[in-house]
Amino acid sequence: MSHAFRIALLTALFCVVSVSCEANDTASRTMVTPPEEGRAMPRDVMERIYEQVKTPYKYGVVLSGQGGAAVDCPSVFRQGDRWYMMYIRFDGKGYETLLAESEDLLHWKPLGKILQFRNGTWDANQSAGFIALQDPTWGGSYKPDTCDGKYWLSYVGGALEGYETDPLSIGMAWTDDPTRPAAWNRLEEPVLSPSQPDVREFENVTLYKSNIIHDKAETLGYPYVMFYNGKRPDRECIGMAVSRDMRNWLRFGREPVIDNGKGISGDPQIVRMGDVWVMHYFGAFWQPKAFDTFACSYDLARWTKWDGPHLIEPSESWDQTYAHKPWVIKHGDIVYHFYCAVGDRGRVIALATSSPLDRRD
């Protein structure tokens, strides 16, 4: 028996929900059990949240792909005196991740790629990235935090060409400057994948977009909490994972935290409003077309779904097919709801707000 094998065996025997377990060591993966009880979310609190986050005024398209390429999945953060948007581009081959900047959240200047195609890797043809560890405070700084002195993003990765071709996994990348339009440093292997032995039923085909928050209170016993949607053969649901170091992730609970029984529930974004956590996410095909809605929680583990009016739904020529995939922030007195719009201008990124804004291109 080799020395390396003995070390691996001892780790598997003695590691119980430990961050020293490597994410890709199949012998040592452990699932975290959620708390047994949680506080119920009163209806009046849900209604109060809705009144604070609703965005009935559609400003219009704020970012389109060059050369007719589709763009998707905005994630917006602030660094210094500027706003930045990570977004993904699909040109027929697969996903790449780009960066844009803005001074006013309305006018966006593309800067360049931060994740792009490469050869011979597990993520050769798919790398759709989203900012991690952003300040989740509603009306807060929206600046990304660091872990181990690094800025992080999570991304959907895969080797096969095409539009979201299965299987897809979740990878991690880091940089020392999230505002620079240059390649981020990627971990060599995915941190979560549908091929791992602890994969849950709702994610056994593909893993999609993730949002990672830094919960400094460690409500669930871990500082870093990831929400992501996974696909099973008949629908997509939202589940959770936790970590102490952003590199090694443990699945949290056996069941999804958001499941609408059919269609898609996906692309979660987490914000903190007082003592309430709010998850923005999109729904599709369990009600007509695709739209944005939300859920609320006191403990990050148990979520109450909003069943009232959608936050965004198709209504204009540019989003007449789909209005979905939210990224919602409050700056000053205005709520900005960025979303992916599909309509007569292709797949673009659009904006809705809580107050009417003049359009001055």
- Residue 157 structure tokens: 């990765």
pLDDT value at residue 17: 34
pLDDT by residue (tens digit) across 86-119? Answer: 999 999 999 999 999 999 999 999 999 999 999 9
Domain boundaries, the chain: 3-29+42-353
Q: Which residue, among 112, 131, 116, 121, has the nearest Cα to 169 in the 3D structure? A: 121
CA–CA distance, 147 with 133 (Å, rounded to integer): 9
CA–CA distance, 86 with 89 (Å, rounded to integer): 10
pLDDT by residue (tens digit) across 236-288? Answer: 999 999 999 999 999 999 999 999 999 999 999 999 999 999 999 999 999 99
pTM of the model: 0.91
Helix (H, G, I), strand (E, B) or coil at 68: helix
CATH homologous superfamily of domain 3-29+42-353?
A: Glycosyl hydrolase domain; family 43 (2.115.10.20)
